[in-house]
Structure 1
């Protein structure tokens, strides 16, 4: 093992070298893929504000399909970032909430959004420059 690296646990008993996120089978990389997904980010940010029911999340997040919302919530729940509470009512009430582990991500997610909002004009200008240089025109 190289100096400055250590073995870390991952998904379902997997391990990889700390800092080896470039390896396809690295559990850290898999977790980064999950939390960097656009639907995951939006769900976590909303649940960071308040617990919500499935249909409230679906109404609030424009463009997400029922299937994608369901899959993403299930994955976030499996990772311990979201909790699911079922209350035996008629019809059954299911509420999703952020867990303490998921709450730890909120600051980082907000920083990414702040960066995107601050630098979107710069990115748009770079895109125009690139397209103009290739003769694409957008």
Structure 2
């Protein structure tokens, strides 16, 4: 009887602590819903000027250069058509050591505000140093 109770306790403990172990992992597990969002955004590659005219919550992909870090988790992305604010989770931008001058590809949602500038809430970001390099992708868990 005691062995059964011990086995149940250990099993239950593992089940309840597994999400904590997964959250501390460097690996990101993407659900089908996460991948569907990223796939939809990848099919909607736009310029900064185009993104500023899109409706709220439109999924987009933009490519440009980080112009400046404007606030704690906010950066300004610049392309040939203009500049737009990018909101990045701190774990996301710190993991790639994002700095002004970095060439990036951002997947995210258009975020419009009444009377304020439109910006992009980043879901995924890629960075590369040289045009010949492959994109190195980093993801935010969407749940």
Between the two structures, name the one with larger relative contact order (CA 8 Å, sep ≥ 6). 2
TM-score after normalising by structure 2: 0.26
TM-score (norm 1): 0.27
More helix by proportion, 1 or 2?
A: 1
Structure having the larger proportion of residues in strand = 2
